[in-house]
Amino acid sequence: MHKPVLGVLGGVGPLATAYFMELVIKKTPASCDQDNIPMIVFNDPQIPDRTAYILDGGNPNPLPEMTRVVLWLERAGADFIAIPCNTAHYFYEQIAESATVPVLNIMRETTARIVEMHGEHATIGLLATDGTLSSGVFQSYLSDAGLSVMAPSEKDQRGIVMPLIYDRVKRNLPYDPTALLDLARRMHENGCDAVIVGCTELSVVYQDLTHKPDYLIDSMDVLADRCVSYYLEHHR
């Protein structure tokens, strides 16, 4: 019996990787330890910051290290790979081309989930890093599916989104999860049919919410679902 092995390009960031592993395990239909998905995780926090490079190409390029990790995961026995970092998907095409096994795409999977839930003409709020927003990559997946995209105001991006990611989660400092919920609620009230948690550091915050409204869609949660479904589809 072949059990596909999931490879995880982790460390982008480290805590998000740990939460992602937990999500995959909790979502797997298992009656015992042996029913769970075999995982190889390379939690590599030395990968240069993705947003810093996207905003200023003079900063260290994370692509060579991410490619090295993908190839290491393949050699170690991974049959498919997930990257629990939205901003890293700026480099998705190059990463996928370097791999000989499938690399799941968090943005593509999240877009498909949104269309399934809200149709092809919905307005979607996107909570993400400056790098993800400025690159336009996530927006292109959404727009290509017929969805309209709304980003937070500059004040909310500078005052809530980026501080939660870089000043709190990435520094392993306490944070207030209601800040994320309040911002998503305001975007929903201002016309967004759904709001995407489009940064896996924000996914860490999302996991701590006591109330998760239906309009708030966590991209890392979607990716974990896809890892489980891929495993079940190819488990024989």
Q: Which residues are catalytic?
A: 85, 199
Instruction: Assess contact for 7 and 68: CB atoms under 8 A.
Output: no
Burial of 26 (0-12, 13-18, 19+ CB in 10 A): exposed
Q: What tokens were used for 137? A: 């990559």
Q: What is the 3-state secondary structure (H, E, C) of 114-154?
A: HHHHHCCCCEEEEECCHHHHHHCHHHHHHHHCCCEEECCCH
Q: Cα dist. 60→169, 181, 199, 216, 227 in Å?
A: 22, 33, 20, 33, 30
Q: What angle do CA 38, 201, 95 make, to 5 degrees?
A: 60
Count of Cβ atoms closer than 10 Å to residue 75 Cβ? 9
Q: What angle do CA 28, 33, 36 make, to 5 degrees?
A: 30
